[in-house]
Amino acid sequence: MLDGESFFSLALFLISVGLFWRTFSFETMAGYEVLGPGWWPRLLLAAMAVLSAGLFVGRLRWLRRGGERQEETVATGRLLGLTAACFGYAVLMPYLGFLVSTPLFLLAVLLLFGTPRGRVLALLPLGITVLLLVIFVKVLYISLPRGVGPFLYFSRLFY
Amino acid sequence: MLVVAELLLQGLTEVLTPPNLMAITLGVVAGIVLGAFPGLDSTVGAALFIPVTYGMSATQALLLLAALYGGAVYAGQIPAILFRIPGASEAVVTTLDGYAMARKGQAGKALGVGLVTSLLGGLFGVTTLILLAPLLANVALRFGPAEYFALGVLGLTAIAGLSGRSITKAVISALIGLLLATVGIDPITGVARFTFGQSMLLSGVSFIPAVIGLFAVAEVFKQASRPQVVRALDETELRTGRRLRVELPSLGELRRMAGLIARSAVIGAWVGILPGVGATTAAIVGYSQAVRLSREPDKFGTGVPEGLAASETANNAAVGGAMVPLLALGIPGSATTAVMLGAFLMHGLKAGPLFLVQQERLAFTLFVGMGVATLLIFPFALLAVRPFVALLRIPYPMLAAGILAFSAVGARAMGDLYGILMMFCFAVLGYLLERYGFPVAPLVLGLVLGRIVETSLRRALIIAAYDPWMVVSRPITAVLLVLSVLSVAVPAWTRYRTRRAAEK
């Protein structure tokens, strides 16, 4: 039975092999037949495949000899929730705009970390959003996404 | 010599005029504030402030930007030490020992060591700029692709010191970094590699979002994965006490690290001079030299002041060094000086050999101004630390929310929205790597040095008609490669002997 570490090593090996294969689809250029665009990545991927295969085999042998798994308990639900919140934030920001997506994202983060409900939950996401807006948009003139449709109109009220 | 002294005195008189002094102060303060924010490094700061300098004289504009550069490179260490967030890419290596010291309850000491060594490194960089610029520029001019390749290899050998428990895992981590550096347009053939049809990947992996993801956001993921979430960093992680003070190192401590500081300063200034390499590489090379020349290399990364001193001295010395090719040759020595080149053009100046001849007075005012800016960092840094320290007592969930939001906007500031997506991808990668015992630092090393190593090696081989011997037998290349081999072999041999002795 594979444990997390052996599974990770196997995944690295498979990715290396897959990407090694991918390098052969790189465009070839006349005059660069020897040291073309795929030469260096192939070198790296070959080394990575050999080393990760070695790690995988070594780990399997160790587990078969009865080695301890040493796997820590993980708060899987919170971790997956946080990952989903982060990627959701990155994907939705162009549509909802910074001003709407950021407090929602921060609210999700606080709930995932178990912040007691109350004023903190209501005010902190808004406070951080306003602070970031002032620093980045009003002081540093860095443009932040305004969103589309009604969100665009809403954002334009502020920046 | 007398002429130089006279020019320096003239420069000092010029610098001490109220408008110029104000420009320097503004530059230092802006640099510290920007440098301490993740994603807003000296390059972004210089780019943001170029329009601000439009209404200023050329002298004030250059003084402000040079001061901002120094301030931002220094300030990157504050969040790196306190939160494991490198405020700027130059502080990536600082997180290794700086944050580890903070976790041991030595945050004040770490900030003190970082401040003093930054000051020493910065002053050495400026001195190098003034006294050795022509000489060092001549040496750097002799560097061809083969020498750059060897320099990159020397930087990569730092993996030996950053390997933790498994050298294989460290090498895999570095290989991932080197591979990630190949993403985008191949600089030699112009062919797209590993872009998978995504236009955002054509320009390659953005370094700042990647580093913020690997270090800052991955740390939040790590805390989130624990069944029991920490309450506040101050209480459970950093143990800084109620009132954290910057503890300056004693003279004895500085004397003990004098050799290391001197070596790191020389390395930093020298690497800074090399065009396109910059303070980040300077910090890495400085740190790796400190590891390999140490009698106790295993202690590096666990929170030793020597590690912090090496990286901070080197990256601050590189600021002065990076100005050498800009002023003497018109070639930027770093990304920030590349942006500063724009300020030269905006004010009708042309950086290069003629600048030192035709604008001699301005050049020396700039030299002295950089020295004054370095000294001014000291009091402003002491003031800047307190607000950051207050953040340590905030409950962790609130801090996590703040870190995620600031990191996301920081990543956005470095490019488009894909920066945020990239940052979160790297956060997941960083979390998984750390979870399964793969050190993250070698990956960053590979990502920074990947382009230099690959393009230099390929160019060198093409020039040498694919004869590897021709590449490695060039004198400077050979010396650097021998140093690389020694820097891996000597610690390995020492470790082997220590183990044998322990077995007996």
3-state secondary structure B147-168: HHHHHHHHHHHHHHHCCCCCHH
Q: Are the CB atoms for A12 and A19 separated by under 8 Å? A: no
The pLDDT score that the predictor gives to residue B360 is: 80
The pLDDT score that the predictor gives to residue B181 is: 93
A48 with B417: Cβ contact below 8 A:
no
The pLDDT score that the predictor gives to residue A80 is: 94
Give the residue from A13, A35, A86, A148 with the most B CB atoms within 10 Å of its CB, the best one to mutate: A86
Q: Report the distance separating Cα A55 and Cα A51, nearest Å.
A: 6
For A35, which of B172, B227, B462 is closest by C-beta distance?
Answer: B462
Which residues in chain B have their CB less than 8 angstroms from residue A129's CB? Answer: 405
Q: Which residues, other chains included, contact B242 with Cβ-Cβ below 8 Å and sequence gap of 6+?
A: none
Exposed, middle or buried: residue B102 (CB in 10 Å: 0-12, 13-18, 19+)? buried
Buried b (16+ CB within 10 A) or exposed e, B387-406: ebbebbebbbbbbbbbbbbb
Closest CA to A45 of A83, A14, A84, A8: A14
ipTM above 0.85, yes or no: yes
Buried b (16+ CB within 10 A) or exposed e, B274-297: bbbbbbbbbbbbbbbbbbbebeeb
Q: Which residues, other chains included, contact A1 with Cβ-Cβ below 8 Å and sequence gap of 6+?
A: A63
Closest CA of chain B from A19, distance in Å: 8
Q: Are the CB atoms for A13 and A69 separated by under 8 Å? A: no
The pLDDT score that the predictor gives to residue B237 is: 47
Max CA pair span of chain B? 73
Q: Which residues, other chains included, contact A70 with Cβ-Cβ below 8 Å and sequence gap of 6+?
A: none
pLDDT, mean of residues A48-67: 90
Closest residue on chain A to B50 (Cα):
A140
Which residues in chain A have their CB less than 8 angstroms from residue B193's CB? Answer: 23, 26, 37-38, 41
List phi, psi (to 5°) of B193: -125, 135
Q: Are the CB atoms for B49 and B349 separated by under 8 Å? A: no
Q: Among the ranges A99-103, A155-159, B149-153, B162-166, which has the highest mean pLDDT value?
A: A99-103
Closest residue on chain B to A86 (Cα):
B424
pLDDT, mean of residues A43-70: 88
A8 with B40: Cβ contact below 8 A:
no
* Amino acid code (one letter) for B105: G
The pLDDT score that the predictor gives to residue B495 is: 64
The pLDDT score that the predictor gives to residue B372 is: 94
Q: How confident is the model at residue A115 (pLDDT cuts 50, 70, 90)?
A: confident
Give the residue from A44, A83, A141 with the most B CB atoms within 10 Å of its CB, the best one to mutate: A44
For B405, which of A40, A41, A128 is closest by C-beta distance?
Answer: A128
All residue ranges of chain B with pLDDT < 70 are 1-2, 38-40, 48, 51, 132-141, 158-165, 229-244, 275-278, 329-335, 352-353, 388-393, 413-416, 487, 490-492, 494-495, 498, 502-504
The pLDDT score that the predictor gives to residue B303 is: 86
Interface size A-B, in CB pairs within 8 Å, comes to 155
SS3 A117: coil
Provide the mean pLDDT of chain A.
Answer: 89
B401 with A110: Cβ contact below 8 A:
yes
Q: Are the CB atoms for B86 and B95 separated by under 8 Å? A: yes
Closest residue on chain B to A108 (Cα):
B401
Q: How many CA atoms lie within 13 A of B94 on its CB side?
A: 38
The pLDDT score that the predictor gives to residue B53 is: 79
The pLDDT score that the predictor gives to residue B428 is: 95
Which residues in chain A have their CB less than 8 angstroms from residue B49's CB? Answer: none
The pLDDT score that the predictor gives to residue B416 is: 67
Q: How many C-beta neighbours within 10 Å does residue A120 have? A: 16
Strand ranges in B146-283 using DSSP code E only, listed in sequence order: 184-185, 192-193
Give the residue from A82, A130, A133 with the most B CB atoms within 10 Å of its CB, the best one to mutate: A82
* Amino acid code (one letter) for B150: A
B458 with A40: Cβ contact below 8 A:
yes
Closest residue on chain A to B425 (Cα):
A87
CA B408 to chain centre: 21
SS3 B232: strand
The pLDDT score that the predictor gives to residue B381 is: 87
Token code pair at residue A114: 């178990």
pTM of the model: 0.72
Which residues in chain A have their CB less than 8 angstroms from residue B188's CB? Answer: 32, 35, 37
Which residues in chain A have their CB less than 8 angstroms from residue B435's CB? Answer: 4
Token code pair at residue B309: 């001193």
Q: Report the distance separating Cα A22 and Cα B279, nearest Å.
A: 34
Closest CA to B94 of B104, B82, B105: B82
B48 with A141: Cβ contact below 8 A:
yes
